[in-house]
Every structure is written in structure tokens, then in C-alpha cells.
Amino acid sequence: MAAAPLALPRLGFLRRGRPILMRIAQAIPVVVGVVIISFVLTRALPGDPAVYFAGPTADEKSIAEVRAKLGLDKPLPTQFAIYAQDLLKGDLGTSLTTGQPVMEDLARRLPASLELTLAALLLSCAIAVPLGVLAATRPGSWVDHLCRVLVTAGVSMPTFFTGILLIYIFYYLLGWAPSPLGRLDFIYFEPSRVTGFFLVDAVLAGDWETFFAALRQLALPACTLALFTLAPIARMTRAAMLSALSSDFVRTARAAGLTKRKVVYGYALKNALLPVVTTLGMVFSFTLGANVLVEKVFAWPGIGSYAVEALVASDYAAVQGFVLAMALLFVALNLVIDLLYAAIDPRIGFKAR
């Protein structure tokens, strides 16, 4: 009661924005922890980057030289201090495998992965949510069975297999798809970079030819990932819808004569969205990390294959950069999901605690 008159209406935006800032502030210790752990873990990995980069013919002396050049001869705390200092300046170091600053590599490759993952999830939701709803409204019908079959097939086939199968059918047999070699056929120029998402950048540049070329390249890998992510989303939608449809408020809505459409989509689905959004967040995070197989199959220059290559080469800067980028992404993702929760359900106040 006493707090109400104090809140000036003009500060409304600040008042709404503050919890978000608080949440971001709460993420700082997480990020610091990630920085430390990723540093320690990469050092604990077997393999010596100095040996790797000095080459197979190098002798002790040249290895030591490389080591000194990389700063790996210094004690660990000193190395960490240097790393942390660079980090504060926004310098993630230089990748030894690509010879580029890690920041630049990530800025190029992260959008590629995000574009693929987001396209896959959009596609997957567009199929899974309606499928789940239909299956829930007609339990035991053919839609329900189709849903079950699709879900089982989706999870039981590994992505690299689905990927290769799709390439075989749509590229090799039918010739509908372009060759599975990266984000854009070499005859097109990359659109000038704004977001790093080729589709978005092409639209911004008004270059529809490039847009469709990029879309064609994206289609098969996105389908492959979508098939894989379909299962959890469709399942959760079905289960959440079944419980929403059997709840008391749906009975009230039916007794009041509301149309079936309104009851199913306006009342039940909105209530069922909460668990679906949770699942979506989880699926998003594991796909982003796990789509390395798809990236490999389609020669997609994404962050997953970058991380694997860096790991194999004990490329410290690149691995640390990757882990940090993922951590920041997850923090942002969780924030978005919390905001979505608050937007869907008025009972969940978005409060700084």
C-alpha cells in the first residue's frame, strides 16, 4: 500500500526494465565461473598445442620456442591473468587453427549455427505444435497415431543418418536440392553483413536471388534438425493439451457454449503453452550444441564443427571462446524464456529476487 504512491508513472519503463537488469546482473557470477572453469578444463585436456603446432618434424628446441611464443611456458595463474585481462578488453585471443582472432571466427560462425537452429526450430514448431494439438483433441485417431509414429521415427534416427538420407533423395536422386556444401553456392556473393544471418541480410539488401539461394541451401539441414527436435515438442504439446482440455475451466467454457475453436485454441492451448515453452528452451540449447553432426554432413560452417576442430587441436583460445559464447547465449535464452513465461502467465510475476 505504502509503495504505490512512490512509483511515479514516468518511471514506469525503468520499473519494468529493472528486473531484467537485475537478472542480467545475477548472471555475472555464472559467466565468471564459466570463464574460470573453461580455462582450467582446457588446460587439463590431454594434448599440447605447442607440440601440435610445431609440426611432426620439430625438435625439442623449436617446440620450446613455440611454447614461449604462445605464452604457455608461464605458470597457470599468470596465463589466466593475461587471459582475463584480454577478455576485459574484448580480446578472445587468436585461434591457432584458423589464424584468425577468435572473436572474428565466432562472429562469422555463430550466426551460421543460430540461423540453422532457429530455422529448424521454427519449422519443427510449425509442425509439432499443430500435430500435438490435433493428437490431443482426437486421442486414438489416425492423427494421434501419425504423431506417435513421427515422434518415434524422429528421435530414433540419428541426425547424420537423416541428413545423408535427405541428401541422397533430394540431391542425388531428385536433384531438387543444391549440393550440400555450406551456406551459399559459390556462384553467389555473400550478402553484406548486418546480422550475419544470410536470409535476413539478403532481405535487408533486397537481394532476393541470394535469399532464395541461401534458403535452398538451408532447407535440407534445417529439415534434418527439425525432424530430430520434433519429438519432444510434439510430445509435450500433446500432453499439456490433454491436461488442459480435461481441466475445469475448459468445461466451463464448453458449458458456456464457446465454439470449439475458441475452447481449444483460445483457452486450452494458451494454458498449455507454458510447458511447451520450457521444452522449447531446452531443445534450443541442446540443439545448438549438438548440431555438429548436421554441420559436418552439410559442410555447414557453424560453431559446432569449429569447436570440435579446436578441441582436437587443443586450440585453447578457440575452445574457451566457444564455451564463453555458449554460456552467454544460454543466459540470454533463459532470460527470454522467463520473459515469455511472464507474458503468457499473469500468475508469474517477473520479479527480481
Partner 1 sequence: MLAIDNLRIGFRTRNGHVEAVKGISLAVGSGETMGIVGESGSGKSVTAYALLRILDAGGRIEAGTCVYSGIDLAHAPERQMADVRGREISMIFQNPRAALNPIRKVGHQIEDVLVRHNRAGRNNARSKAIAAMEAVKIRDAAARYHAYPFELSGGMCQRIVIALALACDPRLLIADEPTTGLDITTQKAVMDLVAALIRERGMSSILITHDLGLAAQYCDKITVMKDGVVVETGDAVDVFARPQHAYTRRLVDATPREGATVRSLLPAEARGPDPAYTVRDTALLRVQNLEKTFAGKSGPVHAVKGISFRVRDGETLGLVGESGCGKSTTSAMVVRLADPTSGKILFDGEDIGAVPAKSFARDKRRGKIQMVFQDATDSLNPRHAAGRAIEEPLRRLTDLSARARRDRVAELADLVGLPLHLIDRFPHQLSGGQKARVGIARALGTDPRFLILDEPTAALDVSIQAVVLNLLADLRARLGISYLFVSHDLQVVRLLCDRVVVMRAGEIVEEGEADQVMHAPSHPYTAELIAAAPHPPTLKS
Enumerate residues 6+ apart whose C-beta is below 8 A from 305. Answer: 292, 295, 296
CA distance 110 to 165: 26
- Please identify, using beta-carbon distances, which residue of 136 and 297 lies nearer to partner 1: 136
CA nearest to 299, candidates 187, 180, 196: 180
Question: Closest approach of Cβ 300 to partner 1, in Å?
Answer: 39
Query: Is 17 strand, coil or helix?
Result: helix
**CB closer to partner 1 out of 59 and 248:** 248
Q: How far is the CB of 344 from partner 1 (least distance, A)?
A: 7
- Output the nine-digit C-alpha cell for 325: 559464447
* Closer of 146 and 348 to partner 1 (Cβ): 348
- Minimum distance from residue 6 beta carbon to partner 1 (Å): 14
Q: Footprint of partner 1 on this chain (CB under 8 A)?
A: 1, 139, 246-249, 251-259, 262, 266-267, 270-271, 344-347
In whole angstroms, the minimum distance from the beta carbon of 137 to partner 1 comes to 10
Distances (CA, A) of 183 to 101, 109, 122: 22, 11, 18
Provide the minimum distance between the beta carbon of 249 and partner 1 in the complex, in angstroms, as a whole number: 5
Amino acid at 279: T
- Please list, in sequence order, all residues whose beta carbon lies within 8 angstroms of the beta carbon of residue 51, skipping any fewer than 6 positions away: 58, 63
The answer to whether the CB of 187 falls within 8 A of the CB of 171 is: no
- H-assigned helices in the chain: 12-44, 49-54, 60-70, 76-88, 102-137, 142-156, 159-166, 198-205, 208-245, 248-255, 260-261, 270-290, 292-297, 303-312, 316-344
Residue 335 CB, shortest distance to partner 1, in Å, is 21
Q: Which is nearer to partner 1, 206 or 346 (CB)?
A: 346
Q: In the complex with partner 1, which residue's Cβ is closer, 99 or 140?
A: 140
Nearest approach in angstroms of CB 9 to partner 1 is: 17
DSSP string, 45-81: SSS-HHHHHH-TT--HHHHHHHHHHHTTTS-HHHHHH
Q: Which is nearer to partner 1, 9 or 257 (CB)?
A: 257
Q: Which is nearer to partner 1, 100 or 259 (CB)?
A: 259
